[in-house]
Amino acid sequence: MESILVLTHADESGATLSKASFEAITSGKELTERLGAQLKIGIVAAEPRPLSKGLPGPVLAVEGEPFAQPRFATDAAACEALCRAAHASIVLAPHSSRFARVMAAVAHRVGGQIDTHVTAIVGGDGVKASRWFYRQRIEAVLARTSRPWFLLLDAGTHAPNAAGSGEVSLEFVPVEAPATRTSVTGLRAPQQSQQTIRPDAKLLFVAGAGWTKKQPDGQVHVDEAGKLILDFLAASGASLGSSKSLVDQGGEGNSVLPFLTHLNQVGQTGSTPRHPKGLATCCHGEEPHVVGWRFIGERRAVSLDPNCGWSRGKADVVYVADAFKVMAKVNEMLGSLG
Ligand SMILES: Cc1cc2nc3c(=O)[nH]c(=O)nc-3n(C[C@H](O)[C@H](O)[C@H](O)COP(=O)(O)OP(=O)(O)OC[C@H]3O[C@@H](n4cnc5c(N)ncnc54)[C@H](O)[C@@H]3O)c2cc1C
């Protein structure tokens, strides 16, 4: 009989669990219901008690100020203690940057095995983990006999478990905070308005190289392009992706659209974000780019080229139109909505 532990951590505010943690809890619930197994939740946070309310299953927690901040030594010690206390055979955890960097070490310390970037847990009356390889082109289903088996779940693959308010059984697991070399003195993050990569956005807006090319009047209109794109992001809350051709233009000190970096690049050599909808503009829709759209639910594109890759089956809807005009109109309509 398997026993399941879902490891979770607080979000940056410390006042709630991270969204990816709630997704991991959904996965743990589904798995325990399917197997008829036992579910435990582990929390790493400065103050876990308010975070434990309404969670499904008994909660084990490591508490204290040293566990407020992501840091290898403290997170690894906390997760190791939770695993030893729970005696679980399957350990699920969010593939957050915080847990991704410690969980292989935790698995090693407790004699377990780990698989990462898991997108689904399948397997009838057993446990199998599904994940993608080769830039999301091949899906594999993995099984292991050794236990404990750690599975890091990719964000956006499960609906977040709804937070409740009821008290649950909460056991504090004592951990002596290890000596640390890193102390967190504060957080510096770009303002939300400057942060163009928004993993939780409902829409991915992709800018292609066409925005910086000569337009039908024979001129380039880069400043206008930048304003249209930023105005749209501000009004819609969309996340900004880019084709490789466009971000590559920003190399060698030539900043074309200064808010774009290689982190925005979507595709084979870029990222594979997850959003319910995507809108590509001034982008041709070539395979190395579109392979990064694997997990985009509904795809639309605006391109001047009626024979672009999007029209050849890569998008659900293609508007053969001038993206400068389309986005100006869209921004005007969004503006009138207030
Ligand atoms: C090994 C390898 C890895 C790669 N990895 C990636 C990757 O990870 N991501 C990626 O994106 N690419 C990748 N590429 C590059 C990819 O093959 C394409 O070259 C790139 O995606 C093209 O970018 P683009 O569509 O923005 O530019 P272009 O091909 O130049 O297309 C621009 C488009 O804009 C349209 N356009 C111009 N003006 C307007 C307007 N006013 N309104 C509407 N449309 C307009 C044009 O009609 C054209 O279709 C890779 C290539 C290789 C070989």
* Residue-by-residue DSSP string for 209-222: GGGGS--TTS---H
Rounded CA gap, 55 and 32, in Å? 14
What's residue 252's pLDDT? Answer: 62
- What b/e string do you get for 317-328 counting C-beta neighbours within 10 Å, with b at 16 or more? ebbeebbbeebb
**Whose C-alpha lies nearest to ligand 1, atom 38?**
210
Which DSSP helix (H) or strand (E) runs through 226?
A: helix 222-236
Give yes or no for a contact between 245 and 285, defined as CB atoms under 8 angstroms apart: no
Q: Hey, what are 149's tokens?
A: 């088996």
Query: pTM for the full model?
Result: 0.81
Over residues 15-35, the pLDDT tens digits come to: 999 999 999 999 999 999 999
Q: Which atom of ligand 1 is nearest to the CA of 242?
A: 11
CA 190 to chain CA centroid, nearest Å:
18
What's residue 255's pLDDT? Answer: 63
**Whose C-alpha lies nearest to ligand 1, atom 30?**
209
* SS3 category, 165: coil
Digit-by-digit pLDDT tens for the chain (338 residues) are 899 999 999 998 999 999 999 999 999 999 999 999 999 999 999 999 999 999 998 999 999 999 999 999 999 999 999 999 999 999 999 999 999 999 999 999 999 999 999 999 998 889 999 999 987 789 999 999 999 999 999 998 999 998 778 889 999 999 999 999 888 888 787 776 678 999 889 999 999 999 999 999 999 999 999 999 999 999 999 999 999 999 998 766 666 898 999 999 999 999 999 999 999 999 999 999 999 999 999 999 999 999 999 999 999 999 999 999 999 999 999 998 87
Q: How far is the CA of 141 from the centre of ligand 1 (A)?
A: 33
End-to-end alpha carbon distance in the chain: 56
Rounded CA gap, 164 and 84, in Å? 27
Give yes or no for a contact between 205 and 279, defined as CB atoms under 8 angstroms apart: yes
Backbone torsions φ then ψ of 93, nearest 5 degrees: -155, 150
What's residue 194's pLDDT? Answer: 77
Give yes or no for a contact between 302 and 229, defined as CB atoms under 8 angstroms apart: no
* SS3 category, 142: strand
Give 128's strand partners.
122
Q: Under 8 Å CB-to-CB from 238, ≥6 apart: which residues? A: 198, 201, 202, 203, 204, 205, 232, 279
Instruction: Tell me which residues have their CB closer than 6 angstroms to ligand 1.
Output: 208-210, 213, 215, 243-246, 265-270, 282-284, 286, 288-289, 292, 302-305, 308, 322-324
Ligand 1 pocket test, candidate residues 212, 228, 242, 244, most atoms within 8 A of CB? 244
What's residue 200's pLDDT? Answer: 86
Long-range pairs, 191-196, Cβ under 8 A, ≥24 = 193/234, 194/259, 196/233, 196/239, 196/240, 196/259, 196/260, 196/264
Rounded CA gap, 199 and 241, in Å? 11
Rounded CA gap, 47 and 225, in Å? 46
Q: Under 8 Å CB-to-CB from 210, ≥6 apart: which residues? A: 281, 282, 283, 284, 303, 304, 323
Q: How far is CA 333 from CA 20, 184, 232, 336, in A?
A: 34, 44, 10, 5
Ligand 1 pocket test, candidate residues 268, 279, 296, most atoms within 8 A of CB? 268
Q: How far is the CA of 202 from the centre of ligand 1 (A)?
A: 23
Q: How far is the CA of 42 from the centre of ligand 1 (A)?
A: 45
* Cis status, amide bond into 148, omega within 30 of 0: yes
